[in-house]
A and B are shown apart, each in its own frame.
Chain A
Amino acid sequence: MSAPAVVRELEAALGADAVIWAPEDLLVYEYDATIDRGSPQAIAFPSSAEDVVAILGVARAHGLPVTPRGGGTGLSGGALAARGGVIIAMNRMRRILELDPGARTALVEPGVVNLDLGNEAARHGLAYAPDPSSQRACTIGGNIAENAGGPHTLALGTTTNHVLAVEFVDPTGEVHWLGGPTRDAPGYDLVGCVVGSEGTLGIVTKALVRLVPAPEAVKTFLGIYDSVRQASSAVGAIVKAGIVPAALEMIDRMTIAAVEPVLKAGFPLDADAILLVEVDGPALQVEAEGEIVEDVLRQYDPREIRTATEPKDREVLWAGRKGAISALGHIKPNYYLLDGVVPRTRLPEVLDTVYRVAAAYELPVANMFHAGDGNLHPCLLFDEREPGVTERVLEAGEEIMRACVDAGGAISGEHGIGLEKRSYLPWIFSEDDLGAMQQLRSAFGADDDFNPCKIFPGGHGCGEGHGGHQQKQIAKFGADVAI
């Protein structure tokens, strides 16, 4: 089979080994970590901003959509070629170009894996704060697109708080440097717009990120509770006590059941909720805050409190949280992972709703979440081979998201809207709000062919939007699909 013209031109621009187009190879670029699928016609691997410009030019000349992709670990379908076309895979731009311990910054390419940057920073007594659970595989470029969070962003903020400047190719193929080494760059905060824009405003080709000093001491508490109510009340009380922990996480009984057999963290299978609280900073502060945290945890009648200060022991406590989502595959072959945010005080009632909805739809649900941020991740578990269950799952998911919005929350805390939640966006934004956002997209130079069908409902060739999307999801379930 001879290569189509678009492939030949991409190969001419980038080199033959920087383009993938064989049908069997394209199969493995159909998915990310969600349910959806998109079939690209070619994958191009740039090694520089100039390469990205070239790819955009070739794709435009052929009227093909382009979609940027990082680690493909996203949880909203953001990396999928929703309308086909060319995937711009950033994985080979993965150098840490510069790490300046004095200025506490690192200049990295977008394909650098989050944990690799963290490890490199650690060698200088520094840390890169955002630590999504997929940090072993997700890339900084993807983190920027989704404004990735993670358990340790409670005190230090999400990705947007840690990206200072980016080299950026806008959808028209112009290269810009946005932002600067400090937050004083003149003009609009375009970096602030780019972070969290889910790769729909352009493509980051370099990023200058902030590093933070690694804390002198860290202490992790694990509180085991007999009810979710007790645990979530303890969460509120810790925050109320005036402490901003480095992390404040909860997992529930179903999650424990998934995690424990795999990771053997020693979690009791009959406990209803486990709280993970971490305080860090100067040793004295950790000690003082730790005492308060432990006191508060005790007030809510825990079955047991464990503590760890050594990295290895803390890792054991954390493993159960960070591996939780993927471990669910172990209970049921499919899961539908939600990402709602609610004001912290509304957590207990929204959790009640989550359990009530799941029970009403006869679906097991596992909850693991960033309690300190009010960021819930209910996971509906199912086996899609059971007739009709998928529809039930989607309906239950929608009801849960409604409950989050009704409680004054939002429909994504860190996974993004992507393909998956486009039809929910009008729940929280008016037509005028969405119009202004579309205008921002236009201002960056994005048209219908740049990363199409993401974030905004509707869109040319993207299906019907507003629920039509869900129909498509159901239709597309294959034998192996997990959502």
Chain B
Amino acid sequence: MSVFRTIDAPSEGDLSLCVHCGLCLNACPTYLELGQETDSPRGRLQLMKALAEGRVDYTPRVQQHFDRCLQCRACETACPSLVPYGRLMEATRADLFQQDKMLDRRGRLVWRLVMRGVFPHPNRLRALGMGLRIFQRSGMQGLMRRSGLLGRLSGTLARLDALSPDVRRPFFEPCDVERYAPPGPPRARASMLTGCVMPLSHPDTHHATARALSRNGVQVSAPGEQVCCGALHAHGGDVEAARQLARRNIDAFLPRDGVEAEAIIVNAAGCGSHMKEYGHLLRNDTDYAERAQAFGERVRDVSEYLVEVGFEAPSGAINRAVTYQDSCHLVHAQRVKDAPRALLRSIPGLELREMRRPDQCCGSAGLYSIMQSSLSGAILRDKMSDIANTNADQVCSANPGCLLQLDAGIRLYVDDMSGDRSPHVIDLLDESYRAAEGDDYARRPE
């Protein structure tokens, strides 16, 4: 009898698409790292089928193989049979989560506290951010890093610390976008997702995004009622929480009795890919299904959008060699590969140096870098050596999680790379605009 019990279980039709040809194997970071079929996309699909057929129970070993999946979806790009692997893995986790099989009691408690208790609530996130800021401003973090104390206490703790964002700058508020305006009459209107962690961890990137959009004639807004997109919840199997968040965002961006966003701009690839799939997430919700579909269709990654509407090439020189790490959820989930590169190539003086396998995951993968820290670390180490081999001055990416992971990687493994934070692609574009036109290039006149 099938181990799956809920309506969210992976569909037989989706599962049957896999002809086990194996073309996905070498695209999978965990397969490359571990060299075993059990930790490959084909292997996990086989295990899903076995669960569906009741050939195997959801044992700790099966769980381990699923937990090790980064959900980077590189296998989807590799798959000629169009197996919707990401959707299948999410469905598997959703079903098992609802049967309380995903997490043990302690895990469930932590999940309730953090994922349901904090993430959906911008105020609570800000409060946590303030705490971290005090820790950083007090100099404690620097002291502990220099002393190597954390490393001696626990490798995981040290990695956690290495991953923690620098939150010393002012947090970004949705209303901040109003500081920017197009130089002339706007040629398009767009709403920005500000998200959960990014306002704390990457406020500058949000400013850069709003400025660059405005600079290119886009009137930017950001609904104040928006919340976390729910991607982390969906990846973890908590579809109920994910649906709840999706509904709130739909109400925020496409209000029933207000102005609907024409385009929903996201500069976090993980959020963007999840939001493009709101339609699937809420397919059984009669109230929201239709709007969720419309919502998904309006979501654009910022680079994708700028290329789509046509952006003006910046003229400020950035004389650096930069390598670009594709964000999995941009390149594999959203299939946006060329747009960020087009932005980078438009920058005078900037040399884009491709690394080996730029589209292979850096090991960040949302909560993965914390939950599977040792495997994530091994994947990151390989990635950093590919990055170092380019001899680029900087590595950039298109997702905050990736950027934090790369920053951690630079601190842990690369000696001769700029210790500054790794920039988002849009940060570089913005930097180039500013270099030519001054800091206020898109600022709304007071």
- Residues of A in contact, count (CB < 8 Å): 46
- Whether a CB of chain A sits under 8 angstroms from the CB of B47 is yes
Residues of the B chain whose Cβ atoms lie less than 8 Å from the Cβ of A20: 36, 38
B19-A335 in contact (CB<8A): yes
Residues of the A chain whose Cβ atoms lie less than 8 Å from the Cβ of B80: 262-263, 323-327, 329
The one of B18, B47, B356 that contacts A24, using a Cβ cutoff of 8 Å: B47
- Whether a CB of chain A sits under 8 angstroms from the CB of B156 is no
The one of A25, A92, A115, A138 that contacts B22, using a Cβ cutoff of 8 Å: A138
Contact with B along A297-336 (1 / 0, CB 8 A): 0000000000000000000000000011111111001010
With A73-B22, A134-B22, A323-B80 known to touch, is A25 a contact of B35 (CB < 8 Å)?
no
The one of A28, A134, A137 that contacts B43, using a Cβ cutoff of 8 Å: A28
- Whether a CB of chain A sits under 8 angstroms from the CB of B56 is yes
**Closest chain A residue to B50, Cβ basis:** A27
The one of B46, B53, B62, B78 that contacts A136, using a Cβ cutoff of 8 Å: B78
- Whether a CB of chain B sits under 8 angstroms from the CB of A226 is no
A113 to B357 Cα, complex, angstroms? 14
B17-A329 in contact (CB<8A): yes
A38 to B27 Cα, complex, angstroms? 25
Residues of the A chain whose Cβ atoms lie less than 8 Å from the Cβ of B15: 480
The one of B16, B23, B50, B356 that contacts A333, using a Cβ cutoff of 8 Å: B16
A116 to B35 Cα, complex, angstroms? 15
Contact with B along A21-36 (1 / 0, CB 8 A): 0111101111111000
- Distance in Å: Cβ of A142 to nearest Cβ of chain B: 10
B20-A482 in contact (CB<8A): yes
A94 to B80 Cα, complex, angstroms? 25
Residues of the A chain whose Cβ atoms lie less than 8 Å from the Cβ of B20: 31-33, 482
A33 to B56 Cα, complex, angstroms? 22
Question: Which chain B residues numbered 45 to 67 have a C-beta less than 8 Å away from chain A?
Answer: 46-47, 49-50, 53, 55-57, 59, 61-62, 65
- Whether a CB of chain B sits under 8 angstroms from the CB of A71 is yes
- Whether a CB of chain B sits under 8 angstroms from the CB of A479 is yes
- Whether a CB of chain A sits under 8 angstroms from the CB of B204 is no
B56-A330 in contact (CB<8A): no
- Whether a CB of chain B sits under 8 angstroms from the CB of A91 is yes
A45-B25 in contact (CB<8A): no
B21-A325 in contact (CB<8A): yes
Residues of the B chain whose Cβ atoms lie less than 8 Å from the Cβ of A263: 80
Contact with B along A75-96 (1 / 0, CB 8 A): 0000000000000010110100
B16-A326 in contact (CB<8A): no
- Whether a CB of chain A sits under 8 angstroms from the CB of B24 is yes
A45 to B36 Cα, complex, angstroms? 9
**Closest chain B residue to A483, Cβ basis:** B19
A136-B35 in contact (CB<8A): no
B23-A326 in contact (CB<8A): yes
The one of A91, A136, A262, A325 that contacts B27, using a Cβ cutoff of 8 Å: A136
Residues of the A chain whose Cβ atoms lie less than 8 Å from the Cβ of B81: 326-330
- Whether a CB of chain B sits under 8 angstroms from the CB of A141 is no
**Closest chain A residue to B78, Cβ basis:** A136
**Closest chain A residue to B63, Cβ basis:** A24
B21-A33 in contact (CB<8A): yes
Residues of the A chain whose Cβ atoms lie less than 8 Å from the Cβ of B18: 329, 480
Q: Give the size range of B's interface with the partner.
A: 35 or more
- Whether a CB of chain A sits under 8 angstroms from the CB of B42 is yes
A330-B82 in contact (CB<8A): yes
Question: Which chain B residues numbered 1 to 42 have a C-beta less than 8 Å away from chain A?
Answer: 12, 15-27, 35-38, 40, 42
B59-A24 in contact (CB<8A): yes
- Distance in Å: Cβ of A256 to nearest Cβ of chain B: 14
B19-A326 in contact (CB<8A): yes
Question: Which chain A residues numbered 42 to 60 have a C-beta less than 8 Å away from chain B?
Answer: 43, 45
With A33-B21, A111-B35, A134-B22 known to touch, is A27 a contact of B55 (CB < 8 Å)?
yes
- Whether a CB of chain A sits under 8 angstroms from the CB of B79 is yes
B21-A25 in contact (CB<8A): no
B25-A94 in contact (CB<8A): no
B43-A32 in contact (CB<8A): no
A28-B19 in contact (CB<8A): no
With A23-B56, A136-B78 known to touch, is A28 a contact of B21 (CB < 8 Å)?
no
Residues of the A chain whose Cβ atoms lie less than 8 Å from the Cβ of B56: 23-24, 27
With A24-B61, A136-B78 known to touch, is A482 a contact of B38 (CB < 8 Å)?
no
A91 to B81 Cα, complex, angstroms? 24
**Closest chain B residue to A479, Cβ basis:** B53
A326-B25 in contact (CB<8A): no
- Distance in Å: Cβ of A479 to nearest Cβ of chain B: 6
A45 to B34 Cα, complex, angstroms? 11
B37-A29 in contact (CB<8A): yes
A134-B61 in contact (CB<8A): no
- Whether a CB of chain B sits under 8 angstroms from the CB of A72 is yes
- Distance in Å: Cβ of A455 to nearest Cβ of chain B: 21
B38-A73 in contact (CB<8A): no
**Closest chain A residue to B49, Cβ basis:** A480
A-B contact pairs, 20 of them (CB 8 A): A23-B56, A24-B47, A27-B47, A28-B37, A28-B46, A28-B47, A29-B37, A33-B19, A71-B25, A73-B25, A92-B35, A119-B356, A134-B22, A136-B23, A137-B25, A327-B80, A329-B19, A329-B82, A333-B17, A480-B15
- Shortest Cβ-Cβ A-B pairs, 8 listed: A326-B80, A329-B81, A28-B43, A323-B80, A73-B22, A92-B35, A482-B19, A91-B35
12 more CB-based (< 8 A) A-B contacts, given A28-B38, A116-B26, A328-B19: A24-B57, A24-B61, A27-B46, A27-B56, A28-B37, A31-B46, A33-B22, A91-B35, A134-B21, A136-B23, A327-B81, A328-B81
Q: Spell out B's residues near A (CB within 8 Å).
A: 12, 15-27, 35-38, 40, 42-43, 46-47, 49-50, 53, 55-57, 59, 61-62, 65, 78-82, 356
Q: Spell out A's residues near B (CB within 8 Å).
A: 20, 22-25, 27-33, 43, 45, 71-73, 89, 91-92, 94, 111, 113, 115-116, 119, 134, 136-138, 262-263, 323-330, 333, 335, 478-480, 482
